[in-house]
Chains A and B, each alone.
Chain A
Amino acid sequence: MSAAKSPPLIPHAHAKAVLLVALTLAVLGVFAFFVMTARGVFEETQSLVLVADNSEGVAVGMDLSFSGFPIGRVRRVELAEDAKAHIHVEIPVKDARWLRTSSVFTLERGLVGGTRLRAFSGVLDDPPLADGARRDVLIGDVAERIPQVLGSVQALLKQLEHLSAADGSLARSLDNVQALTAAMNGRHGVLTGLLGSEGDARRVIEALERTNRLLAQTETQLYGPQGLADEARRTAGELRAVLGEARTNLEKLDRILADVGRIASNARGASEDLDVLRAEVEASLRRVSGLVEEVNRKWPFARERDLKLP
């Protein structure tokens, strides 16, 4: 048995004990009143029945929110005779003014967080929702989209797998690219890659060399000594002289014709002069036309004279 002394008596223990118990009861009473007020025990309420195909996630006590503010609370959830979930919501009368006959109710299930019941009232001028009203709930479930997303991902993976297979189009394309780059690294470079074989590239290069030679020859024939350009220049000079001569002859003709007018009355005597003059004019014209034909035969004024029938 212990020989220790008894603990000393606490002064005014009775009063302190009464104070403790009273304090506890007061705190408990205030808290109970607070909780009951918060649970809407003292509020006048009206009921609303929301009908849903699936009440998963709906729990008694969860809020019905409007514009982010809780305006009602789920009181009961039951599976009704119509095989649908009936969610009984209790709404304080002071908050029921936000609900109209045209209000829409949604049940949203997110991936994170709980299920949420929401109310939307688009037209606040509509008549207020009656007590005991029954409305269908639109269900928006993020999780329901997961199978669709998974299906899409699966199809995408299959396509990727098909693309990246050893005999897939991607592998073949890469092989082609590899062959192309290998050809580009060959003797004739990019040309071999573009044409596909070294022989074709060599023929193209030979054609180019021939073209260069042909161009050099053409340049010599055109612009060299005794070239076509010099000849054309000389022909043009001759043409200019012939045309000057023709103009002189025509001026003469003009004067003669003026004289012809004056001497028309006795023209029979002077007809011999007219014959000579006409012969000269005709000769000049023949020379001009011959010269023009010669010019036309010269390059670059030569024209295709053969008629090609379609």
Chain B
Amino acid sequence: MHPTQSATDHSGVAHWLRRQARIQRFAGLTLAASITPGAYDAATRGAVAQALCAAAWQTLPGYFLASILLGGVLTHVFAVTAASYGLSHLALEAVVRLYVMELLPLAAALFVALRAIPATLLRLLRTLPTPARQPTGEVVAYFVGNFLAVWVLAIVSSVATLVVAYPVLHGATFWALEGYARVVGQVFSPLAAAGLAIKLLFFSGAVALSPLALLSDTAPLERGAAEVRAIARLLLFLVLIEGCSLALRIN
């Protein structure tokens, strides 16, 4: 290997490591600021409300309808398929485990990310100096807003899907409510609920941090390139979280 090339490689690795350390430091500072009550002055609270509404209020109706529509279709498919194999009692459990506990949180994270990342970068790249050393109130606001947006979409759509699944499975009767509640309660064991909450926590954190971490990068970024990098980074994190979840079988 040529000495000059080796030196260049070492320099590249060191540069990449320094960048990652800077990004991690900025993400850590943002997290710390977000759990500090003193960071929420009036302007920050307003910015949080703006970020949350931009990510959740405007997207909630569409996501809500899409999730219950897809949930109803999936529930029907599961019910018919399970009935054909004589396994009707497993249909609801499969819907809850697959759709409510796996797909909907992931879909909520992606839905918020696709809407929040461009808006966040559009706002912050214009107002913040690059690279940012300290998270400002606006950064904290976008972090908290996007973080909460994932929870809002995931929880509301999941519960709505569970509500829709009952009439799809049993029709317009209340007589099956006891068995339905029993299955739902059986699936949402304390361990499974905790696992779902942890996964949702990591999903929302990844969605909220992926565009913000780029603000600490030294190189000036175009907004389009920054969006691509943020989404790529987010997808990588989501895959890692899902992989860890499957490996630990916490659901």
- Asked if A35 contacts B185 (CB within 8 A), the reply is yes
Bitwise interface map of B from 140 to 151 toward A, beta carbon under 8 Å scored 1, else 0: 000001001001
What interface size band does chain A fall in?
A: 35 or more
A38 to chain B: which residues have CB within 8 Å? 181-182, 184-186
For chain B, the bracket of interface size reads 35 or more
Residue picked from A4, A16, A20, A39, most chain B C-beta under 10 Å: A20
B234 at the interface (CB under 8 A from A): no
Measured between beta carbons, the chain B residues less than 8 angstroms from A14 are 45-46, 49
Interface residues in A107-146 by Cβ distance below 8 A to B read 112-113
* Chain A CB within 8 A of B52 CB: yes
Residues in B201-250 with C-beta less than 8 Å from chain A:
220, 222-223
With a cutoff of 8 Å between Cβ atoms, the chain A residues found around residue B54 in the complex are 7, 10
Known A7-B119, A13-B53, A31-B159; contact A1-B179, beta-carbon cutoff 8 A: no
Q: A112 — which chain B residues lie within 8 A by C-beta?
A: 85-87
Within residues 75 to 120 of chain A, which ones have a CB less than 8 A from any CB in chain B?
112-113
Stretch at the interface among B2-10, B72-80, B122-130: B122-130
Contact A17/B52 with A31-B159, A70-B179 known, Cβ cut-off 8 Å = yes
Q: CA–CA, A17 to B60, complex, Å?
A: 12
- Residue A173 is within 8 A (CB to CB) of chain B in the complex: no
Contact B125 A13 (CB under 8 A): no
Whole-angstrom CA separation of A61 from B192 in the bound complex: 12
* CB-defined A-B contacts under 8 Å, sample of 12: A1-B223, A2-B126, A6-B122, A9-B50, A10-B58, A13-B52, A14-B49, A16-B57, A17-B48, A17-B53, A35-B184, A113-B86
Q: List residues of A whose CB falls within 8 A of some B CB.
A: 1-2, 4, 6-7, 9-10, 13-14, 16-18, 20-21, 23-24, 27-28, 30-31, 34-40, 60-63, 70, 73, 112-113
Which 4 A-B residue pairs are closest in the complex by CB-CB distance? A38-B185, A38-B181, A17-B49, A13-B49
Known: A23-B152, A24-B151, A34-B185. 16 other contacts (CB 8 A): A1-B220, A2-B126, A4-B122, A13-B52, A14-B45, A17-B53, A20-B152, A21-B52, A24-B152, A27-B156, A28-B155, A31-B155, A34-B181, A36-B185, A38-B186, A60-B189
Which residues of B does A touch, CB under 8 Å? Answer: 45-46, 48-50, 52-54, 56-58, 60, 85-87, 89-90, 119, 122-123, 125-126, 145, 148, 151-152, 155-156, 159, 162, 179, 181-182, 184-186, 188-189, 193, 220, 222-223
